């Protein structure tokens, strides 16, 4: 095929269906409604996307950060994108530099670009002292097989949430991970359309040297899904598959994923961790890393805000209770305790305003938020209010936190 003249080429923004976790963040961030989805894929409308990049930073996996050069009149249609399991291969068109395009954007679009990217502090980055992560070692076409070596329920037998701690062992096959990274699980079988099930991503709950130190294994925190975000019944294909696994079962795994939601490694670095439910997985990984290296006295403070319906619904409640107060400053918010007012993590953040503001201002403190999407706005409001009450301006502080890679959010 002859490459079209350069002026007929366009850069088409695309989403990688292989690593997209369908969290809806990109669709919510897009100021021009260029992103849509069906029950399978999130896709970008070629004729609407203006490359403002508002979606790029907040995407937890980087799935959104993809593009292909296409002839302007032959861009991939929405129908094509909705049908993809993987991105199309690059073509010879991708070798052509079409980067000048943004310069011709109308003024009002450039304005959106500036506001959106300045608000995020530009592209997401890892803390300066984070170890370098391995990513995408295994794909849907080339997964690694792990063996289940443990699967037990974390929540009380009568709790309404069925949350499991699942240990996967990779034997002699390398699967290097860092705290904060995720992996993909490919459930066996096919969906209603006869297509292989899409992979589902799970945060890794164990530290880099293994769930069991010096073993090539990882732990996951998996909640059996019975309903979707809107409370409608959901199949929960992957979570039910995982929660029902027995010791010795084999599982197809992809990844690892994630190059920004990583913990700092330099001595004296503090962590402020805010999570709900299974959003505790990366926090457990980071806390375990610190707990196992406690005698080295290298870390700064650990401040945890953790929200669950009740103590018996809180994953890792027992082990958390055993951690000494001089190791971790723990703040547990319970929303459905009989006879008690509903409490969310953001309520406890307000109660600990002095401490939180000190840590927000401390360049050695890194902030991690993981869990329910709805929590994000509540936590940001709490930060805004307590900053104001302490003579600080959150709107100025947040871009600085982002620019220093001190602020990391992963919600779903
Ligand atoms: P709620 O009892 O109101 O659902 P889940 O058990 O569904 O995974 O949720 C974990 C915790 O997060 C629950 O205590 C839940 O409270 C709480 N939660 C729900 N919505 C929000 C929100 N917008 N902000 C903070 N916490 C929330």
Q: Is 412 a catalytic residue?
A: yes
> Alpha-carbon distance 29 to 53, whole Å?
9
Length, in residues, of the chain: 412
CA 121 to chain centre: 18
> Alpha-carbon distance 382 to 331, whole Å?
15
Q: How far is CA 140 from CA 19, 102, 137, in A?
A: 9, 33, 10
Contacts of residue 161, defined as CB under 8 A and 6 or more positions apart, other chains included, come to 155, 223, 224, 277, 309, 313
What letter does residue 196 receive in the DSSP assignment? Answer: B
Contacts of residue 192, defined as CB under 8 A and 6 or more positions apart, other chains included, come to none
> Alpha-carbon distance 410 to 181, whole Å?
11
> Alpha-carbon distance 298 to 99, whole Å?
45
294 phi, psi to nearest 5 deg: -60, -40
The predicted structure's pLDDT at residue 73: 82
338, with CB counted inside 10 A (0-12, 13-18, 19+), is: exposed
Query: Which residue shows structure tokens 């508002």?
Result: 54
Q: Pick from 16, 21, 14, 10: which is nearest to 78 by CA?
A: 14
> Alpha-carbon distance 179 to 262, whole Å?
6
Please name the residue whose Cα sits nearest to atom 27 of ligand 1: 375
Q: How far is the CA of 372 from the centre of ligand 1 (A)?
A: 7
- Specify the DSSP element, H or E, that contains 251: strand 250-257
Which of 59, 370, 376, 387 does the annotation list as catalytic?
370
Tell me which CATH code domain 270-411 carries.
3.40.50.80
- Asked if residue 278 belongs to a known ligand binding site, the reply is yes
Q: Any bridge partners for residue 118, and if so which?
A: none
The predicted structure's pLDDT at residue 2: 38
- Are 148 and 247 spatial neighbours (Cβ–Cβ below 8 Å)? yes
Same fold, 6-116 and 144-257: no
Q: How far is the CA of 308 from the centre of ligand 1 (A)?
A: 6
CATH superfamily label, 144-257: Translation factors (2.40.30.10)
Q: How far is CA 366 from CA 11, 272, 315, 409, in A?
A: 35, 6, 23, 11
Kindly state if the Cβ of 267 falls inside 6 Å of ligand 1: no
The predicted structure's pLDDT at residue 128: 96
> Alpha-carbon distance 61 to 58, whole Å?
9
Kindly state if the Cβ of 74 falls inside 6 Å of ligand 1: no
Dig out the tokens for 102 from the structure: 């943004």
Q: How far is the CA of 148 from the centre of ligand 1 (A)?
A: 30
Q: Is 203 a catalytic residue?
A: yes
The predicted structure's pLDDT at residue 229: 60
The predicted structure's pLDDT at residue 123: 61
User: Helix (H, G, I), strand (E, B), or coil: what is residue 30?
Assistant: coil
> Alpha-carbon distance 123 to 25, whole Å?
15
101 phi, psi to nearest 5 deg: -55, -45
Ligand 1: atom nearest CA of 333 is: 14
Please name the residue whose Cα sits nearest to atom 24 of ligand 1: 375
Q: How far is the CA of 34 from the centre of ligand 1 (A)?
A: 30
Of 3.90.550.10, 3.30.70.20, 1.20.1250.20, 2.60.40.420, the CATH number of 6-116 is 3.30.70.20
The predicted structure's pLDDT at residue 98: 66
Kindly state if the Cβ of 307 falls inside 6 Å of ligand 1: yes
Q: Is 370 a catalytic residue?
A: yes
Average pLDDT per run of 10 along the chain, which is 412 residues long? 51 90 81 89 92 76 86 89 91 68 32 30 79 91 95 90 95 97 92 83 94 94 80 80 97 92 96 96 96 89 96 88 93 95 98 98 97 93 98 96 94 82
Domain ranges of the chain: 6-116, 144-257, 270-411
């Amino acid at each position: 095929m002859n490459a079209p003249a350069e002026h007929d080429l366009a850069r088409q923004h695309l989403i990688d269906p292989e690593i997209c976790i369908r969290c809806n963040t990109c669709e919510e961030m897009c100021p021009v409604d260029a992103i849509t989805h069906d029950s399978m894929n999130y896709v970008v409308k070629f004729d609407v996307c203006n490359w403002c990049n508002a979606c790029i930073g907040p995407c937890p996996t980087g799935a959104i950060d993809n593009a292909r050069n296409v002839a302007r009149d032959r861009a991939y249609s929405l129908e094509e994108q909705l049908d993809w399991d993987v991105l199309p291969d690059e073509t010879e068109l991708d070798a052509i530099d079409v980067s000048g395009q943004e310069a011709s954007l109308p003024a009002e679009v450039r304005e959106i670009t500036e506001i959106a990217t300045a608000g995020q502090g530009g592209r997401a980055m890892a803390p300066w002292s984070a170890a370098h992560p391995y990513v995408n070692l295994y794909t849907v076409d080339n997964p690694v097989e792990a063996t289940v070596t443990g699967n037990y329920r974390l929540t009380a037998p009568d709790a309404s949430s069925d949350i499991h701690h699942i240990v996967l062992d990779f034997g002699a096959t390398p699967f290097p991970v860092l705290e904060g990274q995720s992996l993909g699980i490919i459930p066996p079988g096919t969906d209603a359309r006869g297509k292989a099930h899409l992979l589902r991503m799970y945060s890794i709950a164990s530290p880099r040297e293994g769930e069991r130190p010096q073993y090539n294994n990882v732990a996951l925190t998996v909640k059996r899904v019975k309903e979707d975000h809107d409370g409608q019944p959901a199949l929960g294909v992957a979570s039910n598959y995982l929660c029902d696994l027995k010791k010795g079962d084999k599982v197809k795994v992809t990844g690892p994923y994630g190059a920004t939601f990583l913990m700092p490694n330099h001595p004296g670095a503090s962590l402020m961790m805010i999570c709900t439910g299974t959003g505790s997985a990366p926090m457990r990984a980071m806390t375990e890393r610190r707990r196992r290296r406690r005698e080295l006295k290298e870390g700064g403070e650990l401040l945890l805000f953790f929200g669950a319906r009740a103590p018996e619904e809180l994953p890792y409640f027992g082990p958390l209770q055993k951690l000494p107060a001089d190791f971790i400053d723990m703040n547990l918010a319970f929303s459905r305790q009989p006879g008690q007012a509903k409490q969310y993590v953001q309520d406890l953040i307000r109660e600990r305003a002095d401490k939180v503001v000190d840590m927000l201002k401390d360049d050695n403190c890194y902030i991690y938020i993981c869990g329910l999407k709805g929590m994000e706005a509540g936590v940001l409001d709490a930060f805004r209010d307590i900053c104001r009450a302490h003579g600080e301006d959150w709107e100025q502080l947040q871009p600085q936190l982002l620019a220093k890679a001190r602020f990391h959010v992963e919600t779903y």
